[in-house]
């Protein structure tokens, strides 16, 4: 079976094509891996054992320190596929819903939150595409107020995961999903923006007119510098509830937006010179 983007959006007709903003999730919007952070709630719910919790904690540490390459992402895909086989879908969704605010909101980068708001204010669709499961990605997207959130989709039969992956939102598959969304939502990719931390998302960055590396791994940082792409380093994970009020949080958001605007303006000028 080949990966293909889910057909979850109706075709948009009669509208002028305009740019959108595509975001990776982990280490781009969130300071942690969205999938791995649910290890303890899944353990408490009886879905995984103690060894899986320890393995997830180690994987989280490695991911935060060095990122993940293609081989590690493939290993993670196979591990998670085997791990969730037989899980009741309703139980997974209930656990995510009950623990989402406590786990996710404190690790949202305030700079990313401000950047999302700036794109929405400019009239662009904001779309998250993440290799994490859609049961995690979609609720996070809803909390952030984005227009669409796509994650890896597992086959479901009789209310349980079979372990079969229908769509793995990773690498070239992300780019293919973006192409299909560009068609269905009348998006001009040349006028679009993309943000990610990993060199494995290079196809995603190369597809848009305005690619930006956010908290990049060493390989992506090297590529971004070589290609003169903007590089942003986010440092302020703050709960969304607190990031929306208070002078310190507002100042951080303004500073993030200023840095983003300068980087994009510089990159656009450099493109015109070539």
Digitized pLDDT (tens) for each residue of the chain, 274 residues in all: 344 444 433 333 445 789 999 999 988 999 877 767 777 787 788 877 665 554 554 444 344 444 555 665 566 667 667 777 888 999 989 988 888 888 887 889 999 999 999 999 999 999 999 988 888 899 999 989 999 999 988 899 999 989 888 898 888 999 999 999 999 999 999 999 999 999 999 999 999 999 999 999 999 999 999 999 999 999 877 654 444 334 443 443 344 344 344 333 333 443 444 4
**Is 217 among the residues known to form the active site?**
no
117 token code pair: 């708001």
64 token code pair: 């935060």
Position 188 in a domain: yes
Position 262 in a domain: yes
pLDDT computed for residue 102 by the predictor: 85
Query: Packing angle between helix 134-144 and helix 89-104, nearest 10 degrees?
Result: 40
pLDDT computed for residue 44 by the predictor: 84
Q: How many domains does the chain have?
A: 1
Q: Are 232 and 212 in contact (CB under 8 A)?
A: yes
Position 3 in a domain: no
Position 1 in a domain: no
Q: Are 252 and 237 in contact (CB under 8 A)?
A: no
DSSP label of 12: P
Alpha-helical (H) ranges within the chain are 39-44, 50-66, 70-84, 89-104, 110-121, 134-144, 172-184, 202-206, 218-227, 240-243, 247-273
Position 2 in a domain: no
Q: Are 144 and 28 in contact (CB under 8 A)?
A: no
pLDDT computed for residue 266 by the predictor: 35
State which residues form the domain around 251: 20-268
| Per-residue pLDDT tens over the stretch 61-108 | 344 444 555 665 566 667 667 777 888 999 989 988 888 888 887 889
Q: Which of 17, 88, 66, 71 is nearest to 215 (CA)?
A: 66
Distance separating alpha carbons of residues 36 and 38, to the nearest angstrom: 5
Distance separating alpha carbons of residues 184 and 62, to the nearest angstrom: 37
Catalytic residue among 3, 24, 113, 217: 24
Q: Which of 163, 119, 154 is nearest to 29 (CA)?
A: 119
Catalytic residue among 3, 26, 125, 217: 26
201 token code pair: 């998302």
Please report, in angstroms and rounded to a whole number, the separation of the first and last CA atoms in the chain: 41
Position 15 in a domain: no
Using CA atoms of 187, 188, 192, 195 in order, give the dihedral in degrees to the nearest 10: 50
pLDDT computed for residue 32 by the predictor: 77
pLDDT computed for residue 248 by the predictor: 41
| Per-residue pLDDT tens over the stretch 143-171 | 899 999 999 888 999 999 898 888 988 88
Which burial class, exposed, middle or buried, applies to 116 when counting CB atoms under 10 A from its CB (0-12, 13-18, 19+)?
buried
**Is 24 among the residues known to form the active site?**
yes
Position 157 in a domain: yes
Which burial class, exposed, middle or buried, applies to 28 when counting CB atoms under 10 A from its CB (0-12, 13-18, 19+)?
buried
Position 75 in a domain: yes
What CATH number is associated with residue 185?
3.40.50.1000
Q: Are 181 and 5 in contact (CB under 8 A)?
A: yes
């Amino acid at each position: 079976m080949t990966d293909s983007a889910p057909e979850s959006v109706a075709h948009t007709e009669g509208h002028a094509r305009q740019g959108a903003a595509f975001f990776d999730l982990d280490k781009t919007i969130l300071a942690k891996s969205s999938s791995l952070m649910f290890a303890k709630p899944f353990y408490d719910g009886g879905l995984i054992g103690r060894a899986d919790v320890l393995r997830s904690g180690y994987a989280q540490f490695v991911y935060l320190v060095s990122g993940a390459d293609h081989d590690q992402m493939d290993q993670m895909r196979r591990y998670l596929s085997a791990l969730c086989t037989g899980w009741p879908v309703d139980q997974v969704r209930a656990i995510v819903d009950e623990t989402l605010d406590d786990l996710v909101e404190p690790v949202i980068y305030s700079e990313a939150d401000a950047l999302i708001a700036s794109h929405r204010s400019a009239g662009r669709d904001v779309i998250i595409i993440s290799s994490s499961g859609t049961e995690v990605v979609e609720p996070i997207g809803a909390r952030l107020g984005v227009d669409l959130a796509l994650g890896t989709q597992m086959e479901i039969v009789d209310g349980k995961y079979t372990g079969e992956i229908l769509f793995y939102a990773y690498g070239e598959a992300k780019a293919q999903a973006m192409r299909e969304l560009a068609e269905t939502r009348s998006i001009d990719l040349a006028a679009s923006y993309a943000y990610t931390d990993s060199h494995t998302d290079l196809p995603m960055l190369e597809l848009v007119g305005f690619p930006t590396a956010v908290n990049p791994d060493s390989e992506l940082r090297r590529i971004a510098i070589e290609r003169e792409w903007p590089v942003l380093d986010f440092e302020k994970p703050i709960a969304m509830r607190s990031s929306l009020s208070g002078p310190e949080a507002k100042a951080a958001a303004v500073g993030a937006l200023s840095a983003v605007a300068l980087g994009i303006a510089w990159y656009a000028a450099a493109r015109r010179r070539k």
